[in-house]
């Protein structure tokens, strides 16, 4: 990891690399997106994409995204299924039905997702705050969504992009790490990465950038031992030779 941070970090090697690459930034972004899109379709879709495909409902996407934080997709999928079933028994997958569940019932449905106690508390409070601040209508901006309990920028961006199909870039640890490895940004935090990507990426890539890079981060470009051998975008990456050995 030290090698990644040390290699060319702020020393001007990035632009030299780009010259060697002979590729302008937009062409590089297009090539990365094309390759990672193919990788994405070769693996199972992330849980939030499945929730959207099955419900076409931004509120369900928001609930699923809250559950997915710091939790593996397989575990989130079970929790989503049990919670939505409990909500349907109370009338449907709506804020009103969620409000009819006790915090204990929510907790039992979503266990064992990470931080299930806190998430149950946030979900219990969600319908009331939604009613109080937005008249019961789920807002479609990142700033407004961040006013809801348990919703940070990552959750809000994913809800806007996947739930509402509006331009937003959700930056989690995978997107932050891989965007830096590829030399598209030079940032130290996910928020800095989100700001930099908003300036750099054409809007047409915003919605899928998260799902493509998260899938790639989970299957090949992990934090400690990325599988660089055979990587389809190795020629576009700044990670030095030998990291994968």
- Single out the residue of 209, 241, 217 nearest to residue 34, CA to CA: 209
Structure tokens at 25: 């930034």
Number of H helices, E strands in the chain: 14, 0
Asked if 221 touches ligand SF4 (CB under 6 A), the answer is yes
Q: How many residues bind ligand SF4 (CB under 6 A)?
A: 11
- Contact between 155 and 62 under an 8 Å Cβ cutoff? The reply is yes
Q: Rounded to the nearest whole angstrom, what is the least distance from the CB of residue 216 to ligand SF4 in the complex?
A: 7
Long-range interactions of 115-122: CB distance < 8 A, separation 24+: 115/69, 115/70, 116/79, 118/150, 119/66, 119/67, 119/69, 119/150, 121/149, 121/150, 122/66, 122/149, 122/150, 122/151
Gap between the Cα atoms of 232 and 14, Å rounded? 20
Cβ(151)–Cβ(134) under 8 Å?
no
Please say which residue, 162 or 221, places its beta carbon nearer to ligand SF4.
Answer: 221
Per CB under 6 A, 234 contacts ligand SF4: yes
Give me the least distance between CB of 51 and ligand SF4, in Å please: 27
Site string for ligand SF4, 75-104 (x = CB under 6 A): ------------------------------
Give yes or no for residue 220 binding ligand SF4 (CB under 6 A).
Answer: yes
Q: Which stretch binds ligand SF4 (CB under 6 A): 57-65, 69-77, 101-109, 219-227?
A: 219-227
- x/- mask, ligand SF4, residues 157-196, rule CB under 6 A, reads ------------------------x---------------
Residues in touch with ligand SF4 (CB under 6 A): 181, 220-221, 226-228, 231, 233-234, 237, 239
């Amino acid at each position: 990891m030290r090698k990644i941070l040390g290699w060319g970090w702020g020393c001007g090697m990035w632009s030299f690399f780009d010259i060697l690459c002979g590729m302008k930034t937009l062409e590089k972004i297009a090539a990365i997106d094309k390759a990672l899109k193919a990788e994405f379709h070769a693996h199972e879709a992330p849980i939030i994409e499945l929730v959207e495909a099955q419900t076409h409902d931004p509120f369900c996407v928001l609930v699923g995204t809250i559950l997915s934080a710091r939790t593996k997709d397989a575990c989130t999928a079970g929790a989503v299924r049990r919670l939505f079933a409990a909500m349907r028994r109370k009338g449907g997958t709506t804020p009103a039905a969620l409000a009819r569940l006790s915090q204990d019932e929510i907790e039992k449905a979503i266990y064992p997702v990470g931080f299930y106690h806190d998430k149950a508390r946030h979900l219990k409070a969600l319908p009331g705050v939604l009613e109080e601040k937005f008249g019961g209508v789920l807002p479609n901006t990142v700033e407004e969504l961040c006013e809801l309990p348990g919703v940070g920028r990552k959750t809000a961006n994913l809800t806007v992009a996947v739930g509402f199909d509006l331009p937003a870039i959700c930056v989690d640890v995978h997107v932050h790490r891989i965007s830096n490895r590829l030399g598209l940004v030079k940032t130290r935090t996910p928020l800095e990465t989100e700001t930099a990507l908003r300036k750099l990426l054409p809007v047409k890539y915003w919605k899928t950038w998260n799902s493509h890079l998260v899938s790639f981060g989970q299957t090949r470009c992990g934090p400690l031992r990325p599988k660089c051998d055979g990587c389809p975008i190795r020629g576009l990456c700044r990670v030095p030779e030998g990291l994968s050995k």
